[in-house]
Structure formats: structure tokens, C-alpha cells
Chains A and B, each alone.
With several copies, the nearest count.
Chain A
């Protein structure tokens, strides 16, 4: 048996047995030194393609999950998921696509004050977390999504959010909104810009360290 195949077997076993996703680092840490984790994963992805259980990448890790088209079979495994209100869904989307984002910015996109039960539901579900504080007057708290969010929606990384690239190209992800367009001020736009984060090209460039 080749080494690659043996590594694939080991990863298969580890991922099958695990309750959640495991990162390549997690896997490498548990396998004998020098194992070709990436190569073995590639082989496994191909091997499981089209099967009832598939290997997917989520939140920076790998997990086996049942094939999407077999959802109908899984009636017994389904736990009634908490249904998010429309407002909560919108709020979650705004946080996901704009993070780090403050409460005021969320409200300005939605045009309504965030009511109780939108942000706190998301926080409680562990989909959203407080990330840090914006370095602007008042130092408002910024919000971002969690790994649990990525895992729930089966996303490998934030860059995989649907439509992300198009929205960014269209300038729709800029938080540079006139806070209240009843106050037309041509200078307001540039004054609102946050020099620290407005130009952040990637996520996780928040000035706070990620908790690891």
C-alpha cells in the first residue's frame, strides 16, 4: 500500500469519526510526521464525489456530510432548526458581507432600528460574535460572523459567500453610506470613511487579534 493511500485511509477514519470539521493542521497533527495531507484529501474528495456521503471544506476545515440531494431521506436526523426571522436573516447577511460592522451601520443599510431579538438571537445562536471596536468616536463595537456560521452554511471561508465578488465590484459592500440622506452633505461621504478599516481588502484584518 502506498503512503498516500495509507494517509487517505487514516484521514478517512479521522474525519468519519469526528463530530465536527477538522482543519488540515488538526489532521497533520494527528498523523505520522510527513504525511501528505493535502494530496490525500484531494484523493478522498474524488473518491467520495457523487456518493451518499461527500467530503467538503467548511470554515477552514474538512468534514464528511451527507449529499445534498439526499436531504429527503434524513427526516429522523433533522432537528427542527430555529427559524430566523426575515429581519434576523437580513441582519446576518449584512454582518456576513460587511464585517467588521457596527450596529449603526447595520441599521443604516436596513433603514430601520435593529429591534431586540435580531442581533441577540444571532449572538445567542453563536452565528455572530463581537469582534472589536471601531476606532472612531464612541468606539462602537463591531460584529462579525463565527466559524459556526460558516459551518452551518457549508462555507469554506468568507470569500465563498454567494455573490460576494460581484457585490464588491458593484461597490455595494461599501459601508460608505450617507447615514441619513435627509441631510445632503457632499462632504459627508469622505468624512464617514474610516481610515482604519475602510480599505481593508480582506476579512480578519480587524485590529483585534482573532482568538485562536
Chain B
């Protein structure tokens, strides 16, 4: 980069670069980032990228940014950072070299050479991507056996599966875990109305003291209301019938069994 570079030309360069840049400002969105823009600009110089005039490239890029802003394209911050950096690099390339270079700064020519190298590298990868893309691809250009013959297979100790599969399996689990919601099923209860109706139907048979446990339905152990619910509803319904004078209830002491009997109004 140190040779073949003539500062005297560069005052016209900005104007020419603006024209070059103009042609490129078709679609800012078309570029993924400033490096891709730089590469597109560098190609207009039609030289080996490693022999690129970085000074001219800087002009081209600054013109590109200026034009984009004039047209009120919104540019992402990294485009502007690149513009600032290139403006700085340009000034360093143009200024006469200080006799004693600052130790912490690489020579501007070296930085320029590195930029050219990065562009060459990106270009190489874009070419590589293209070279891969035009290769005959399986399922697009060349085709394998459409109807492979079954081959009897025995499983072996060898396992299929890669790390990505393992990670997906794991994270799938954990995500399910965080999304798991708790939906308790409300316990089925024995409706009070049903208990009353049932008790009324049983009244004629309740001519003797009968324990509550024997009066309440047994229920089924697997489905429907629990035994406790049957007992509670039957007791509540029984107490209502007691209040209405159709039933008698008695309990000898606290926590003892409760007995029920139909009230025989006249004989009691």
C-alpha cells in the first residue's frame, strides 16, 4: 500500500468516487454491513483487492455514506462508525509521517493493508460460497437411488446422535418444564340435592337406628365423588330432614358414630 499511491490525485478522487458510489446506492438494505459495502465499492476499482487503493476506497465509502444521508436513508450506527474510522485513516494516510511514530499506533499503511486483507478474505469466502452453490448438489442436480433395496439390519452398540440433538432434547425438556401449568381437577362432590332425594327414598326402610356410614352410598373407589363427600352430603341432607321432622339423628358422644332413623311421628 505504501507504493503506487499518489496523494496529488486524491483531491479529484472524492468527486469521482461520489459518482462511483452513486451507482452503488441502489439499496442500502442490500448490504449486510459496512464491510459488505466496502467490498462492493472495492470491486469498482477493478484491481486485486490486496493492491487496493484504500485511500480511494475511503473516499468512495465516505461518498456512499454522504449520499445515503442526503437521500435520508437511515444508516445503522456501524456504518457511521466505519465512516468515522475511514475518515481518520484517510487523514493519517495523507498527513506526512511524524518523525517519531507514536508507539501505540501501527503505521497507517499497515492498517490500510489489513483492511485490504480483510476485504480480500471476505471476497474469497463469497466466491467460495458461490463455488459451492454452483456445484452439483444432491437432490438438485444429481440424484441418489430412488428406491434403495432393504438391507437387513442388526442394531449394534454404536449410537446415533450428536451434541446438537442432545442439547435440543435437554432444552426441549426444560422449556416444557417452565411452561408446565398446574390444572387441578376439582374433586367431584356428591350434590346435596341428590343426597336428600336418596335419603327420602330410603326413609321407609330406616325404621331402626342405622349408622350414617351404612346410609351413605359406598361410591366407587376409582371415579366419582369420594367416600368422604358421600358421608358429608348424606349427613347434611340428614340434618335438614331432621329439621323438617322426618328423621331422627343421634350421637352418643363426640366423634362417635352417628345413627339415623325415620321419625315415626305418632309412636315417638
**Chain A residues proximal to chain B, CB less than 8 Å:** 13, 16-20, 63-68, 71, 74-84, 86-87, 89-90, 92-94, 96-97, 109-112, 123-127, 129-130, 151-155, 161-163, 166-167, 170, 172-174, 176-178, 181-182, 184-186, 211
Contact = CB atoms under 8 A, between A and B. Distances in A.
Given A83-B160, A110-B125, A184-B111, 4 more contacts: A17-B148, A20-B144, A93-B132, A96-B166
A79 B127 CA distance: 26
A131 to B, nearest CB: 9
Contacts of A176: 179
Contacts of B104: 185
Given A75-B151, A77-B152, A81-B159, A93 B144 contact: no
B118 A81 contact: no
Interface stretch (B167-175, B195-203, B227-235, B256-264): B167-175
Contacts of B124: 163, 167, 170, 172
A90 B118 contact: no
Interface string B144-186: 1111111111111111111111111111111111111000000
B25 interface: no
B19 to A, nearest CB: 25
20 contacts: A16-B149, A17-B148, A19-B145, A65-B138, A65-B144, A68-B141, A78-B139, A92-B166, A93-B128, A93-B129, A96-B170, A109-B125, A111-B118, A112-B33, A161-B128, A163-B131, A170-B120, A172-B121, A172-B171, A184-B105
A66 B142 contact: yes
Contacts of A96: 128, 132, 166, 170
B146 A82 contact: no
Given A77-B143, A78-B151, A151-B138, A211 B173 contact: no
Contacts of A77: 143, 146, 152-154
Contacts of B105: 184
A81 B132 CA distance: 15
B140 interface: yes
Contact of B145 (A64, A74, A167): A64
A189 to B, nearest CB: 9
Given A172-B167, A184-B110, A66 B149 contact: yes
Contacts of A71: 136, 140-142
Interface in B90-133: 104-106, 110-111, 114-115, 117-118, 120-122, 124-129, 131-133
B153 A162 contact: no
The 7 closest A-B pairs by CB, nearest first: A111-B35, A93-B170, A19-B148, A112-B33, A17-B149, A162-B131, A184-B106
Nearest to B154: A77
How would you classify the secondary structure of chain B's contact residues: helix, strand, loop or mixed?
Answer: helix
B149 A162 contact: no
A17 B153 CA distance: 14
Given A19-B147, A66-B149, A186-B106, A92 B132 contact: yes
Contacts of B136: 68, 71, 154
A162 B132 contact: yes
A109 B122 contact: yes
Nearest to B124: A172
A79 B189 CA distance: 58
Contacts of A185: 104, 106
A161 B177 CA distance: 21
Contact of B166 (A63, A82, A126, A153): A153
Contacts of A211: 162
Interface in B35-81: 35-36, 81
Contacts of A129: 162-164
Contacts of B173: 90, 93-94, 109-110
B163 A90 contact: no
A178 B112 CA distance: 12
A112 B82 CA distance: 12
A77 B139 CA distance: 8
B110 A89 contact: no
B267 interface: no
Nearest to A66: B143
Contacts of B180: 111
B6 interface: no
